Structure 1
Amino acid sequence: MSRTGFFVGGERVQGSGQPFASVNPATGETNYELAAAGAGDVAHCVAIAKEALARSQWCGLRPPERARILGAIADGIVARSEDLAMIQLRENGKVLAECRAQVASAAATFRYYAAVCETAGAEVTPSRGDYLSMTSYEPIGVVAAITPWNSPLTMEAQKIAPALAGGNAVIVKPSEVTPSGALAVAEIALAAGLPAGILNVLTGTGVETGIPLVSHPDVRMVSFTGGTETGRSIAKIAAERLIPVALELGGKSPHIIFEDADLERAAAAVQDGIFEGSGQSCVAGSRLFVQRPVLQRMIELMRARAEAIAVGMPLDPGSKMGPLASFRHREHVERFVHSARAEGGEILAGGGRPSDAGLAKGAFYMPTLIGGLDPSAHACREEIFGPVLCILAFDDEEDLVAQANGTAYGLAAGIWSLDVTRALRVARRLEAGTVWINTYKQLSIATPFGGYKDSGIGREKGVGGMRLYQQIKSIYLGGVRL
């Protein structure tokens, strides 16, 4: 089997780390083998990125020139859209329609930051003396971007595009589950005119590749999306090194249904919010809070919807939900469902692997509803990151807010009510970085995104998403009287 190298300085490289296999979660078959970067490879890559930043004058290009290349990268992604969609499908099992949508999102992200790069201005600040004072936004330097396996193409674009727009060099460390999309984007960027060495990709494990990257003295910022415990470890290293971090971490998002809500519309949104992508989303609405008078009706609606979801092979046009991204992750989800049973939970739908023999070789798991749990149960408090919805009742706003805020997480939330005043009031009280009212999982690259509490530090997306990867310099010009 041929081994795929990682990408440093515009070239494919075979590293000194332990090679690893990419496995198709729908079939259990090996896709291909990949090279892994050891500590020496990481050090070489950082040196290449630092040199490229100095040699190429990437950060010194006028904004329209950087914007032109970012736009060309978007064009390249569109030209290879079907190939990129298939890469993601083979590696994490998402159905083809979702993979295509995420490729389109990645291209749109590069176009957005091309526009931000070209149009964002600095400030002339109010003078308090005989001087002109102004701000200058400058690149941080070499940035490490560590991305997850659930939506790799969108997550990588969400970090690479603003970091490049800000004038930085970027080293991407993708998840070992989904390494190939980042490699393809790096090739596209090189062909689009990005100087060699400005965008590099290191494949390998967190221990063998990720820790040396985060710890390297010439890496001046780390941007990470993934689990909270890993984020905490990265934050400790960054704190010792006194470098900035952006952390988008776990979630246990409450999806709230008041008794006056349009229950049919709400049920459709709840379904998409938890079962799209097999529930492997940081903003998955994994806790459904229903006001008690309509609890049984919502359970009936959700059971009917869960049981109607077509679980199948990702390339099957009829499939609405594919496998989980890995067999190891399916075991993680299964342990949570077992714990829910042990803590008195009632399985209302799903709760196991599909009976279809044609799916037996893949990491499939059925859409699952669990009722009857106490809010303190592990399945109600900890991130499962799978197609598992815990259904809980509430009586009034005070009861709801206490339950909804009763986890360490605070990434997102959803509210359904015809009383907009009440919905806005509750939205202000929820400890969450994003709150949707009478909709769910609507995401815009133009709108800031991030979490409260253990769900992270910093905000990605929007104009501030580029500023995240820049530092501010204040400049005073004396002898000027305004």
Structure 2
Amino acid sequence: MLDKVDMPKDRLYIGGEWRKGQGAEITSVFPADRSHNATVSGASAADVEEAIARAQDAADAASWKRLKPHERASFLYKISDGISRNIDRISYIQTRDTGKTLGETRALAASAAGTFRYFAAVCETEEEKITPARGDYITLSRWEPLGVVAAITPWNSPIASDAQKLAPALAAGNAVILKPASWSPLVSLELARIIDEAGLPKGLLSVLPGSGSVVGDLLVTHPAVGKVSFTGGTAVGRSLARKAAEKLMPVSLELGGKSPTIVFEDADIDQTIAGILFGIFSSSGQSCIAGSRLYVQRSIYKPFLEKLIARTKALRVGHPFESSTQVAPLIHEDHRNSVERFIAQARRDRGTILAGGQRPAGGDYNEGVYLEPTIIGDVAPGAEICREEVFGPVLTVFPFDDEDTLIRDANDNEYGLACGIWTRDVVKALRIGAAIKAGTVWINTYKQFSISTPFGGMKASGMGREKGRDGLRAYMQQKSYYIDTSGALHPWAGL
């Protein structure tokens, strides 16, 4: 059945209409064998201008602006149902687009359906406030949509990232322009098809894959765009924030990570190793929250590391359509080259390759963009491999002796996205978690998510939060009302 799934056509979704983009071509390649998926004409500056103009009209239209929250929610429920009906098709397209395993892309599609369903429920149950009056008047605090917002999403988990931005933005009453990454444009276009079939009013959504220097920059600087929500690299996020500051526009930035994972001597070893392997090597390490720095208490360091190395070498690297595959190919040859440069530099920094560190050879491996899961030891904390986000299946390991030194070393990094702590002592875990500068702390688990729980980073890992009930208000602005109840003339007028 999977071989019969057609890739999205060479058409963009511009203001609710399907047509060919006027920008440079974007080619999607299957990372497992580098075969051609599809070529799409990207968006041009003129396409962006048209999408913004249609978004303004749609956001201001009475047919959308005056909808009651439960009426807006009905569209999100329909979108959720459409995603659920198309999970097989979505997962296949995303696997072809990104190289992720079918098991992972199915989970991401199901997550996207759940995200739309959750924000539909939040939308129709959200409450506004009558605030305590301090005079003869009634005071109200109300929330209104921003108008036109832009969502810029990464290539590693597009369907889930798209949903985490589109669902709350639409639920809040906005029009949205989505720019997916050029390496993975297809599943976002498939999502546009599903949303279109759900009957969302024309103009409220555009999907514009294209150059960051053209599409992204124009979305950030255009005066009609009221907010940008960006997930991606820290360098791009900083540049975006500087441009947004010029127009005093709010932004949400979910950026890079170099997350520490901490193992105490009392941890359940098998549970811990399973969690560490999943935290760094699932998604082939292409995850902002990957647990890429491992700190193990010195009393168990050597036997723990021996077991971890053996388990890492036993991981199944293979084709993303094979059900037994645990580590699939990286998304693109250029990205693999980048990861390999980090490994080469770690060698020059006197690091020891304890596992992996090279491309698997022979058979299908020679056709695809594969890289072995890699563990590196004996590097100084200041080495590049320990400080920069590799975004690949690469783990650095360190022993630690005491909590103070551990906390200092774990925090000695510009990033602050996530942290994992493994111990049977929950009180200790909470104490360490409070000391670690990270937006998410997992205790005896890793990479678990709930759409109802806010997510975001500290330091160079970003600003703002997605998910949770407050994720709706991140796409709204607050307005206060005062309603006089006295009927009296104001004494200042002297009338």
Shorter chain as denominator, the TM-score bin is over 0.9
Write the distance in 2 (CA, Å) between the matches of 1:102 and 1:291.
34
Q: Residue type of the partner of 1:9?
A: G
CA gap of 1:77–1:404, structure 2 versus 1, over 3 A, is same
Matches within 5 A, 1:334-353: 334-353=340-359
Write the distance in 2 (CA, Å) between the matches of 1:2 and 1:412.
35
Asked whether the equivalents of residues 8 and 190 of structure 2 are also in contact (C-alpha less than 8 Å), the reply is no
Residue 401 of structure 2: aligned partner: 395
Correspondence 1:291 to 2:291: no
Write the distance in 2 (CA, Å) between the matches of 1:105 and 1:98.
10
Structure 1 residue aligned with 2:128, among 112, 122, 127?
Answer: 122
Structure 1 residue aligned with 2:25, among 13, 19, 25?
Answer: 19
Post-superposition shift, 1:459?
Answer: 0.4
Residue 231 of structure 2: aligned partner: 225
Correspondence 1:385 to 2:361: no
Residue 142 of structure 2: aligned partner: 136
Q: Over alpha carbons, which structure has the higher Rg?
A: 2
Write the distance in 1 (CA, Å) between the matches of 2:444 and 2:8.
50
Q: Residue type of the partner of 1:441?
A: K
Write the distance in 2 (CA, Å) between the matches of 1:376 and 1:190.
50
**Deviating more after overlay: 69-78 vs 418-427:** 418-427
Post-superposition shift, 1:210?
Answer: 1.2
SS at match of 2:253: strand
CA gap of 1:480–1:333, structure 2 versus 1, over 3 A, is farther
Write the distance in 2 (CA, Å) between the matches of 1:416 and 1:428.
15
Residue 61 of structure 1: aligned partner: 67
Q: Residue type of the partner of 1:474?
A: S
Post-superposition shift, 1:429?
Answer: 0.5
Count of equivalent residues: 481
Write the distance in 2 (CA, Å) between the matches of 1:421 and 1:261.
13
Q: Residue type of the partner of 1:293?
A: S
**Deviating more after overlay: 164-173 vs 356-365:** 356-365
Asked whether the equivalents of residues 14 and 47 of structure 2 are also in contact (C-alpha less than 8 Å), the reply is no
Matches within 5 A, 1:39-438: 39-55=45-61, 57-438=63-444
Residue 445 of structure 1: aligned partner: 451
Write the distance in 2 (CA, Å) between the matches of 1:60 and 1:171.
21
Q: Residue type of the partner of 1:279?
A: G
Write the distance in 2 (CA, Å) between the matches of 1:410 and 1:204.
30
Residue 7 of structure 1: aligned partner: 13
Structure 2 residue aligned with 1:31, among 14, 30, 37?
Answer: 37
Write the distance in 2 (CA, Å) between the matches of 1:146 and 1:2.
20
SS at match of 1:338: helix
1:357-408 deviations in Å (ceiling 9; x for gaps): 3211211101000011111111011100100000011111101000000100
**Deviating more after overlay: 49-58 vs 2-11:** 2-11
SS at match of 1:156: helix
Write the distance in 2 (CA, Å) between the matches of 1:301 and 1:167.
52
Post-superposition shift, 1:2?
Answer: 9.8
Asked whether the equivalents of residues 60 and 167 of structure 1 are also in contact (C-alpha less than 8 Å), the reply is no
Residue 492 of structure 2: aligned partner: none
Residue 3 of structure 2: aligned partner: none
Write the distance in 1 (CA, Å) between the matches of 2:153 and 2:140.
35
Correspondence 1:468 to 2:474: yes
Asked whether the equivalents of residues 140 and 220 of structure 1 are also in contact (C-alpha less than 8 Å), the reply is yes
1:84-127 deviations in Å (ceiling 9; x for gaps): 00111001100010010100000000000000001010111111
Asked whether the equivalents of residues 131 and 476 of structure 1 are also in contact (C-alpha less than 8 Å), the reply is yes
Asked whether the equivalents of residues 17 and 208 of structure 1 are also in contact (C-alpha less than 8 Å), the reply is no
Post-superposition shift, 1:57?
Answer: 3.2
Post-superposition shift, 1:16?
Answer: 2.1
Write the distance in 1 (CA, Å) between the matches of 2:29 and 2:153.
18
Post-superposition shift, 1:255?
Answer: 0.4
**Deviating more after overlay: 209-218 vs 452-461:** 209-218
Percent of aligned pairs sharing the same letter: 52
SS at match of 1:200: strand
Write the distance in 2 (CA, Å) between the matches of 1:419 and 1:172.
44
Q: Residue type of the partner of 2:281?
A: F
Write the distance in 2 (CA, Å) between the matches of 1:386 and 1:259.
28
Q: Residue type of the partner of 1:444?
A: S
Post-superposition shift, 1:9?
Answer: 2.2
**Deviating more after overlay: 145-154 vs 4-13:** 4-13
Post-superposition shift, 1:297?
Answer: 1.7
Unmatched 5+ stretches in structure 1: none
Post-superposition shift, 1:192?
Answer: 1.0
Write the distance in 2 (CA, Å) between the matches of 1:246 and 1:2.
29
Write the distance in 1 (CA, Å) between the matches of 2:295 and 2:362.
32
Asked whether the equivalents of residues 11 and 19 of structure 2 are also in contact (C-alpha less than 8 Å), the reply is yes
Asked whether the equivalents of residues 102 and 151 of structure 1 are also in contact (C-alpha less than 8 Å), the reply is yes
Asked whether the equivalents of residues 264 and 301 of structure 1 are also in contact (C-alpha less than 8 Å), the reply is no
Write the distance in 2 (CA, Å) between the matches of 1:385 and 1:430.
21
RMSD: 1.3
CA gap of 1:129–1:14, structure 2 versus 1, over 3 A, is same
Write the distance in 2 (CA, Å) between the matches of 1:38 and 1:194.
24
Post-superposition shift, 1:56?
Answer: 5.2
Residue 491 of structure 2: aligned partner: none
**Deviating more after overlay: 248-257 vs 30-39:** 30-39
Q: Normalised by the size of structure 1, how large is the TM-score?
A: 0.98
Asked whether the equivalents of residues 8 and 189 of structure 2 are also in contact (C-alpha less than 8 Å), the reply is no
Write the distance in 2 (CA, Å) between the matches of 1:192 and 1:151.
23
SS at match of 1:219: coil
Q: Residue type of the partner of 2:102?
A: L
